[in-house]
Amino acid sequence: MAYQLLKHTTVIGSRRLASTTIRHEVAIASRHHINVTSRHGVNITSVYGRANVRWFRATAYASGILKSKLPELAIPTDVSLAEYVMSDFDHHGDSVAMVEGVSNKSYTYRQLKDLVHRCGSGLSKAGFQQGDVCALFKPNMPEYFISFYSVAAIGGTITTVNPLYSADEFMHQLNDCKATWIVTSTDNSDKAKDAAKKTTHPVKGIYVIGDECVGGCIPFTDLMKDDGSAFPTNVQINPMEDVVALPYSSGTTGLPKGVMLTHHNLIANIEQMKSPGLLDFKAGDTLISVVPFFHIYGMAVILSNGLKLGTKLITLPKFEPEQFLQTIETYKVNHGMLVPPLMVFLAKHPLVDQYDLSSLEFVLFGAAPIGGDVINAVKKRLKNDTLFFRQAYGLTETSPIATMCSAHHDFHIGSVGLLVANSDAKVIDTKTGETLGVGENGELCFRGPHVMKGYLKNEKATKATLKDGWLHSGCTSRIGSIVIDASRYSRLCSDS
């Protein structure tokens, strides 16, 4: 299979992932790993010969709709994101939930839940109202969860911001979403204050992580020390309609736009990732996160999904080679949530040989393609032939996972796997809108409970992207062999 990239951009979120820059983000679903269910209930999997493809066109794809073969899920519709994610925190109790990998400061599940309650109360005392928007402008750290979920729990909306942004870039996002509250880090406090001064609306409070008194900011520890007495008990959240997360994405074209994700969108995608064979996290697993939480991959797949399932999450504020390797060795990380540049690092950097990485059992990667040579080089380098790799594809607009390789199927290099449960896909003619058949190039579209509500204050872009319940991804693809690149436009040159 050959392919040609026509543009460089990103599939989800910003161009900058912490200190790692991803220039090409490509996902390829090969013909070996397309799984569909026909409208007659016939399951079609495996490799398609020419005869098989003709039969597939006549039966399974006669409707033009590719349906997920994973079992249908009963996704809750009457619970908020915070209630859902923290529903088992009491059960996990004194198990360690999060560790700051540089300082080794840790929080248990019981402590996280208590601090979310205290911070929600403190924000309410400070004047935070349901529907207010809070901007998180900081790198990965355990306080990211605390601030995110304290805002979510009291009915607010969180807009996540790339911590590498300049003050002017941050100001643009503040103005666009009318964020009136900011939680930042000491390193970013000057930029946060500069941005707040230039906004077209008043910013009510800037909180800075830590105990330090930074001029013009309030120590975040003031919220963490609150007695919890003002935590609102009468907040009425509509999970199906209320926007809880507002990450920014360029979408198919243009400047970054606020992607409105409801409580239900994110809950649905976490449930979809829990389908047997996909993200089989369990209590006792240890994850590492250097992928930033401002990015939908970090926010939903690692932070929210990981803690929902009772794992231990080790956070790093940025990628530093020695720190990254030492953290895996010290904490015996068994789940690597990575991007391809980190896999290339594991395959080629001489430092790797100085650390014991034998605890790694599973690697999930997305945001860019990776060749079999790199995967095999990592296995050889780590002396681990059983290390399991799988790839996923998604967009900020799909909360984010749209497809993922399953442990129950052979992994084929370049495949992004199966459609997540409760979702459909189709490929359409970009000029006529007609649904296309197998082997015909067109635009890839998705439908399901994980699809965003729309773009913030951008009716034109929303109408261009959401049509008749379908999310138009902008990716040029075809059923049978799909090639999707991050610019959402690519060409399949050869099928052989």
In Å, how far are 436, 446, 461, 472 from 466, measured between CA atoms?
A: 18, 10, 8, 6
Nearest to 421 by CA among 274, 266, 301: 274
Which pLDDT belongs to residue 370? 80
Structurally, at CATH architecture level, domain 2-69+422-494 sits in Roll (2.30)
- The helix or strand, by DSSP H or E, that contains position 8, with its residue range, turns out to be none
Residue type, 131: G
Phi, psi of 320, rounded to the nearest 5 degrees = -125, 120
76 C-beta neighbours (distance < 10 Å), count: 16
What DSSP character marks residue 475?
E
Pick among 3.40.50.980, 3.90.1150.10, 2.60.120.560, 3.30.465.10: CATH of 109-238 = 3.40.50.980
What DSSP character marks residue 363?
E
Which pLDDT belongs to residue 438? 75
- For 357-396, what is each residue's pLDDT tens digit? 999 999 998 877 788 899 999 999 999 989 998 889 899 9
- Half-sphere CA count of 199, side-chain side, radius 13 A: 22
Which pLDDT belongs to residue 362? 93
Which pLDDT belongs to residue 283? 93
Which pLDDT belongs to residue 461? 94
In Å, how far are 125, 195, 261 from 171, measured between CA atoms?
A: 26, 5, 21
- CA 433 – CA 474 distance, rounded (Å): 13
Contact 387, 363 (CB under 8 A): yes
- CA 302 – CA 296 distance, rounded (Å): 9
Nearest to 79 by CA among 249, 257, 262: 262
Asked if the peptide bond before residue 292 counts as cis, ω within 30 degrees of 0, the response is: no
pLDDT tens, N- to C-terminus, the chain (496 residues):
222 222 222 223 333 333 332 222 222 232 223 332 222 232 222 222 222 222 222 223 446 788 898 999 999 999 999 999 999 999 999 999 999 999 999 999 999 999 999 999 999 999 999 999 999 999 999 999 999 999 999 999 999 999 999 999 999 999 999 999 999 999 999 999 999 999 999 999 999 998 777 888 999 999 999 999 999 999 999 999 999 999 999 866 677 999 999 999 999 999 999 999 999 899 999 999 999 999 999 999 999 999 999 999 999 999 999 999 999 999 999 999 999 999 999 999 999 999 999 999 999 988 777 888 999 999 999 999 899 988 898 999 999 999 998 887 766 676 778 899 999 999 999 999 999 987 788 899 999 999 999 999 999 999 999 999 999 998 877 665 444 333 332 222 222 2
- DSSP H helices, 335-493, are 340-348, 372-381, 459-465
Entry field: residues in the chain: 496
- For 189-237, what is each residue's pLDDT tens digit? 999 999 999 999 999 999 999 877 788 899 999 999 999 999 999 999 9
- CA 331 – CA 317 distance, rounded (Å): 16
- Sorted by where each begins, the domain ranges of the chain are 2-69+422-494, 109-238
Contacts of 493 (CB under 8 A, 6+ apart): 2, 3, 4
Contact 425, 446 (CB under 8 A): yes
- CA 108 – CA 90 distance, rounded (Å): 10
